[in-house]
Amino acid sequence: MANAYVIGHITVKDEDKWAEYRNKVPATLQPWNAELVMRGSLAAVLAGEHAHADVVVIRFPTLEAAQAWYASPAYQALIPLREAAADLVLTCHTA
């Protein structure tokens, strides 16, 4: 089975709320054997347009695990905080 990667492109609106959200997400990943691969800031746009300043990459063992994590009550409970903290686009990719 292929790994799946959830990639978030992020523009933070409220630093305090974003810090709270970031601190709560890792506990939601554990049941799905997910790994936070990296968090970083945009260094350059090499082609095209990109509106967000930050990125996060999370690896899951399967696409089904990534989808189950997103739909889980634990993660769904964080979405209002996430929406108050940042504008973002979450995408899921297989490799």
Dist. CA 76–CA 37, nearest whole Å: 21
Question: Where in the sequence is the domain holding 45, given as residue range(s)?
Answer: 4-94
Strands (E) located in the chain: 4-12, 35-41, 54-60, 86-94
- 14-65 pLDDT, tens digit per residue, is 999 999 999 999 999 999 999 999 999 999 999 999 999 999 999 999 999 9
pLDDT at 40: 96
Number of domains in the chain: 1
pLDDT at 14: 98
CATH number for the domain spanning 52: value is 3.30.70.100
